[in-house]
């Protein structure tokens, strides 16, 4: 089969940062490893060639007169907050779709896999001949609410026209079905994880990030993700404020982009200061992939108190690192870990329950070790090799 991944997001796919580009890249290279042809179509990023190949995956980049050639320069969820920004987003993604049509016609792929609803909706509207080979993965955690509440949903519009739609968790699947998407066109497949990504982490790597970010505690609780309201970072700060000091030499390290919502980040920092735990909580900001791997290895428990997740990359990475998880009872996390076996789950927004779980796993070494052993087994179930096999089954059905 020849599979084309059409990606119109705000970050490059190869050697980029962000969860969705990582999903595209891992699916692409695993599909190539199974003997199939894969082409990734994205926008022309500054200083990158129009065509390239990485690990057998072909790249074709579209030069557009609209949009930004700099990754993370124009974020869709920021653009749609103003009428002018929304218009610019629509025009840019329409241009992306227009430029992609002749390329798709030239390649004539068996499967077109799209990961965002913006350009894809234009594509299925103006080039309906591609619908019967289109696979859509609804990545965004917000999809759970957006397909239920609005009268017009870009996700539902696309899902009703794609050959198959992959939902990342059962709630998303059910929400699409409730809005009229055929059950026969829906699949539920979570995101995967590269189970080898932490194999090369050395003692020197761990010591380096510990020194760089001032982490010197015996037990480390690690949050990984953008510091935004839906990730529950403020609740984590408040929970830490209730339990510190704990009966262990422990601290919380928050790893992730702090530039997307300055007001929210300030509220998190204020909560930390008001609780008097500035010495117990560290915000690193965005870190490199190498530093992130070392920080995962340094962590003893990963905490993700999210309000919504499609399929949490951070939880999957925690599993690959052999680290127990404190998460929330939402489908995007609940389908990845079992409460009491791989970690502990609390209700979203329940600071009391979160603080109890945090204190338990920070202070109970034996329980963490028991959970870590179970986590290693669970990681195999979510490996990209296994998940790609499920996605390839969808591709084969569409190509047939």
What integer is the mean pLDDT of 111-124? 96
User: What pLDDT, on the 0 to 100 scale, is given for residue 24?
Assistant: 97
pLDDT of residue 311: 83
The yes-or-no answer to whether 2-192+384-399 and 203-381 have a common fold is yes
Per-residue pLDDT tens digits for 251-262: 999 999 998 889
pTM: 0.82
Confidence of residue 151 (pLDDT cuts 50, 70, 90): low
- The pLDDT value recorded for residue 378 is 85
Closest CA to 349 of 323, 328, 370: 328
Judge whether 333 and 345 are in contact, CB under 8 Å.
yes
Structure tokens at 354: 């979160």
- Domain 203-381 homologous superfamily, CATH: Glycogen Phosphorylase B; (3.40.50.2000)
pLDDT in tens, 240-249: 999 999 888 9
Give the per-residue pLDDT at 141: 46
Per-residue pLDDT for 152 more than 80? no
Q: Answer whether residue 145 shows pLDDT above 50.
A: no
Q: What is the mean pLDDT of residues 333-361?
A: 95
- Which residues, including other chains, have CB under 8 Å from residue 109's CB and lie 6 or more apart? 2, 3, 4, 39, 133
Q: pLDDT, tens digit, for every residue of 88-109?
A: 999 999 999 999 999 999 999 9
Residue 147 has pLDDT above 70, yes or no: no
Query: Can you say how many angstroms the Cα of residue 111 is from the centroid of all Cα atoms in its chain?
Result: 23
Sheet holding 219-224, edge to edge: 281-285, 250-255, 219-224, 301-303, 325-328, 343-346
Predicted confidence at residue 388, as pLDDT, reads: 96
Q: What is the CATH number of domain 2-192+384-399?
A: 3.40.50.2000
Mean pLDDT over all residues of the chain?
92
For 58-89, write each residue's pLDDT tens digit: 999 999 999 999 998 887 877 888 888 889 99
Percent of the chain with pLDDT over 90: 78
In the chain, where are the structural domains located?
A: 2-192+384-399, 203-381
Q: Sign (positive/negative) of CA torsion 315, 319, 322, 328?
A: positive
User: What pLDDT score does 142 carry?
Assistant: 41
* Residues 286-310, mean pLDDT to the nearest whole number: 93
pLDDT average, residue stretch 34-51: 96
The stretch 158-182 carries a mean pLDDT of 94
């Amino acid at each position: 089969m020849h599979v084309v991944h059409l990606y119109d997001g705000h970050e490059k796919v190869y050697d980029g940062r962000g969860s969705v580009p990582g999903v595209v890249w891992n699916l692409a290279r695993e599909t190539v490893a199974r003997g199939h042809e894969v082409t990734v179509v994205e926008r022309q990023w500054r200083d990158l060639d129009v065509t390239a190949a990485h690990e057998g995956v072909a790249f074709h980049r579209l030069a557009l007169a609209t949009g930004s050639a700099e990754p993370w320069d124009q974020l869709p969820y920021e653009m749609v907050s103003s009428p002018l920004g929304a218009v610019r987003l629509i025009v840019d993604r329409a241009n992306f779709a227009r430029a992609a049509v002749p390329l798709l016609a030239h390649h004539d792929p068996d499967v077109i896999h799209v990961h965002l609803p913006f350009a894809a909706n234009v594509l299925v509207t103006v080039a309906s001949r591609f619908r019967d080979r289109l696979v859509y993965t609804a990545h965004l955690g917000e999809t759970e609410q957006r397909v239920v509440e609005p009268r017009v949903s870009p996700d539902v519009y696309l899902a009703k026209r794609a050959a198959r739609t992959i939902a990342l968790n059962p709630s998303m699947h059910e929400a699409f079905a409730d809005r009229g998407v055929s059950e026969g066109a829906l699949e539920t497949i979570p995101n995967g994880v590269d189970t080898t990504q932490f194999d090369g982490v050395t003692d020197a790597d761990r010591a380096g990030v510990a020194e760089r970010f001032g982490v010197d505690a015996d037990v480390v609780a690690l949050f990984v993700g953008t510091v935004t309201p839906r990730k529950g970072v403020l609740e984590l700060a408040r929970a830490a404020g209730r339990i510190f000091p704990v009966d262990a030499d422990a601290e919380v390290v928050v790893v992730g982009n702090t530039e997307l919502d300055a007001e929210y980040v300030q509220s998190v920092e204020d909560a930390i200061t008001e609780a008097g735990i500035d010495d117990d909580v560290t915000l690193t900001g965005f870190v490199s992939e190498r530093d992130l791997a070392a920080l995962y290895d340094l962590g003893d428990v990963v905490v993700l108190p999210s309000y919504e997740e499609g399929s949490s990359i951070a939880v999957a990475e925690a599993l690959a690192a052999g680290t127990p998880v404190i998460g929330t009872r939402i489908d995007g996390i609940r389908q990845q870990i079992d409460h009491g076996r791989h970690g502990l789950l609390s209700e979203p927004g329940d600071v009391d329950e979160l603080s109890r779980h945090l204190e338990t796993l920070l202070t109970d070494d034996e329980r963490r070790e028991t959970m870590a052993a179970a986590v290693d087994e669970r990681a195999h179930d979510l490996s990209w090799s296994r998940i790609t096999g499920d996605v390839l089954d969808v591709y084969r059905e569409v190509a047939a």
